[in-house]
Structure 1
């Protein structure tokens, strides 16, 4: 069973994986202690790793892809190899099966990590995507942007915790931007600035792209998973009310 997060630097998954390997090591130690014929440690490690290989089916949970193990291909391969070479299969059999069942330990840890990750890094709060703004600045990305527009960092920091999330009305935005303009060339981009230099919460594995609204009172946060729209009470662009 394989686990693949869309964002690989997820600290919650890293910690849960380390915990799972500690559990596997403990179980292997218990098996080792109970056996009369004790294999070498490095051979046990190799057997467990080979035992992990299996035929799996994919299962998508939110943004997490897990592969549920069905057939113990690694165990079967080891069994054939040991029988073919007349080696002592009984001394390694339980370690091979430990490798296969470890897939399900990883699966359980992943299912537990999902709600923990959402609790530690709430996806409906802007501070998750903009945890550090010390080096932030505005970059005009459309001709309708004010050329000398400067980010008001102090104002942004004050409002970061109080900004409210609103629904993204794509159809209305499109009509306001294009259909309601007298000429298509005169249309103003709703989000003519990009906010750069910010950092998401450490360990969240989130890499957002943030756009600022033309009135400086709204931001559109785009990630690999979704889009979120937040509004400020006051503009975060100096000189724009």
Structure 2
């Protein structure tokens, strides 16, 4: 299968590292014009250079701002009023005991993980609908299906993304715009790598052993028995952005290594 996104434009929120950067690389490599977003211009510039190193002819643009706020979303929309493909990847996570999760924590996680995607989808879906073609994705998590006890607030926001995605797909039925969510499992992203690296440093245990112990203890249902790579997740995102995926909408597509013990 050859995916050709030439002539299409894409915006990937939170795309300066990890899964978001890998998705931006994949979309750019398939010919899309990609807008890379991040909190600082320095991080955006680093990401653009990284993509160009892999795809010298890539068509790229960058935008720095905090998309976890209404103002940040509005600024992006002013700078880039239209897009064909929107990937709502921006997200944060933090292991924290339920009793210690404050109201401010709950609201912050909801603003960043849920409302960032809601605000962008609310705007960009209208243009897609008028043009009769579009792709909207929400990068959720298997944690939205199996809420992790160690970060309930994170899991709740990932469940909310699934609901928004399905509801929006229903709203856009028959318009040529598809809306899907992805459910990655434990993935070797920058944030996860930093988290495991800290544990390895504090305990003196090799990083590979920390990752293996995490899978065995916290995600024992994993069928691949390892962390996924960001490129493995990105490959599914690029497919869902393609013309070939035109019959896939309203779906929660798992890239979880089999962590979720379900046949559907």
TM-score (norm 2): 0.21
Q: Which has the higher strand share?
A: 1
Q: Which has the higher helix share?
A: 2
Structure number, greater radius of gyration? 1
